[in-house]
Structure 1
Amino acid sequence: MVNTAKLEALESKLKGFFSPVLAFSGGVDSRFLAHVMHRAEIDFMAVHITGEHVPRAESAKALNWLQTHDIPYQALRLSPLSVPEIAANDKFRCYHCKRLLFSTIKEMAQVNGGEGEQPVIIDGTNASDLGEYRPGLKALEELGIVSPLALCSITKDEVRTLAVATGMEHADQPATPCLLTRFSYGSTPDEQLLQQVEDCEIALKRYGLQNFRVRILDDGSQLLQVSNAEKGVLLKHHEAIEGTLRSAGFEFAKIHCSERISGFYDRK
């Protein structure tokens, strides 16, 4: 059932922001915000961050979506691994990374905005995120970033439902968080290892897997974590998937199916 009241509340809130700048990852949440603003003819700028932590294919899709819909954007490249607090990869990594990303976006918006009232920086945090372990939310609060979906109590499921109802394509898009989330807290991946994981995941998608992660555990062992919903795909292509893992340098990777994929290290 579509909650039209929440959609109307979201549109009203977005129309009230001065010169909004959207942190645009290309995931379903930030795409939905861009879709709603574009549909409501709200003038806004999207900012997409690239770097060694962002899968290249996801960046390409994000930028292509913006271009296809004629949405003004800027792409900024950052290197989170150059920041010691992020490279340390402890349980507060996400806080430090969000500080870096949103400080950069805020500085860019302020420079472009000139003197007077400053643009409002918004992001795609939804109401469901508030119940998860997300240290990055503290950084957003400190920097004054606004999360319209959360403010309107719109959950992840409601984002997808409203996206379908308003005609946004690929509303079932699975989450693809940054590559640093593939590594156990305390491990210190370099750019080459991030690339190795990304290349392996790209290869595995050829078999039809969508909701999965290649993970590097704290003892250096590897794990392919696959959603229970895709167990059939895993069984059908099991030998080929094992071969792909070996070719990618993960010859000893274990394969595990689970109900939830996100937040793996936060539940350990």
Structure 2
Amino acid sequence: MNTNKVKELVHYLDQFPQCSIAVSGGIDSMLLAYIAHQHSTTKVKMVHAYSPAVPVSALERVKAHTKQYGWDMLVIDAKEFDDKNYINNPVNRCYYCKSNLYIRIGEHTQGAIFSGTNMDDLGDVRPGLAAAVEQNVQHPYVEVGINKQQIYAIAKFYNLSQLHSLPGQPCLASRVETGIKIKSDDMLFIDHMEEKVRELLPSFKKIRCRISHQGIFIELDQLPEASISEKLSEQLRHFCAEQNRIFSGLKVYQKGSAFLNGITHG
């Protein structure tokens, strides 16, 4: 692990008398919060926006770390579900999500607003970055040139076991195919489906429940052996039927498969 990168990150954070960090519950923002609180002189407030699109496990993780490290934490409603542009789920849905998030954070805090965006994120099509520019949100990892691999290495260096083994967890709305409206009950269904699969396949890193125009798909790192796939499919088919939904099968994970027109994250 390159400790110089951590020093550069802390030096960057120290330039700000006070700041707030948008903490989603994923490794990027959680590690940034840890570094800022433990090693920087900046006065930092963590802000977690909880909504139906946030997995319950993410909120629990944020609360656990807040208690463990004594973070100054604020949980807010970003009100993206009040925004018809977000609900309609266009290809730039993330723009409206992040706009609402950063506006609400600005209303509740003072000083700079930081995100967990890293160097690798710049290679994707991410409409939320445009919202960050408009709201003058800073990206400390980008400022000092830290990528996702280095973030995992830093988390491991500090023995943050809950983080350095944590797979990527985009918001639940990222599972819904473009053009299908975002609904609270769909978010709850997605979260429950993924938790069910995770219980049966605990070693799998990529688990996505996709709501598509063709039905409900589960995407995995790789397809399990036939007997396990059959058992899993039967359980998911039954659960979907109870919810008046159609289970359409298992697939190999494809980044951004719920999106049309070249949007590549999720």
Matched, 1:188 2:181: yes
Question: Match for residue 118 of structure 2?
Answer: 126
Question: Match for residue 50 of structure 1?
Answer: 50
Q: Within 2, Cα distance between the matches of 1:146 and 1:188?
A: 30
Matched, 1:145 2:137: yes
Question: Match for residue 175 of structure 1?
Answer: 168
The alpha-carbon distance between structure 1 residues 220 and 251, as it changes in their structure 2 partners (threshold 3 A), is closer
Give the deviation of 1:251 after TM superposition.
4.6
Q: For structure 2, list consecutive stretches of 5 or more residues without a partner in the other structure.
A: none
Q: Within 2, Cα distance between the matches of 1:189 and 1:143?
A: 24
Q: Within 2, Cα distance between the matches of 1:77 and 1:96?
A: 14
Give the deviation of 1:22 after TM superposition.
0.7
Question: Match for residue 159 of structure 1?
Answer: 151
The alpha-carbon distance between structure 1 residues 144 and 78, as it changes in their structure 2 partners (threshold 3 A), is closer
Give the deviation of 1:133 after TM superposition.
0.8
After superposition, where does 1:211-222 map in structure 2 within 5 Å?
Answer: 211-217=206-212, 219-222=213-216
| Contact map agreement 1:226 1:261 (CA 8 A) in 2 | no
Q: Within 1, Cα distance between the matches of 2:138 and 2:257?
A: 23
Q: When the two structures are superposed, what TM-score results if normalisation uses the length of structure 1?
A: 0.88
| Contact map agreement 1:22 1:47 (CA 8 A) in 2 | yes
| Contact map agreement 1:126 1:154 (CA 8 A) in 2 | yes
Question: Match for residue 245 of structure 1?
Answer: 236
Pick which of 85-94 and 4-13 moved more.
Answer: 4-13
> What is the percentage of aligned positions where both structures have the same residue?
24
Question: Match for residue 113 of structure 1?
Answer: none
2:219 to 212, 216, 225: 225
Deviation string 1:181-215 (CA, Å, 9 cap, x unpaired) is 11111111321122111111111110114421000
Q: Within 2, Cα distance between the matches of 1:243 and 1:120?
A: 50
Deviation string 1:141-197 (CA, Å, 9 cap, x unpaired) is 110001000111100011111221233223121111111111111111321122111
Question: Match for residue 78 of structure 1?
Answer: 78
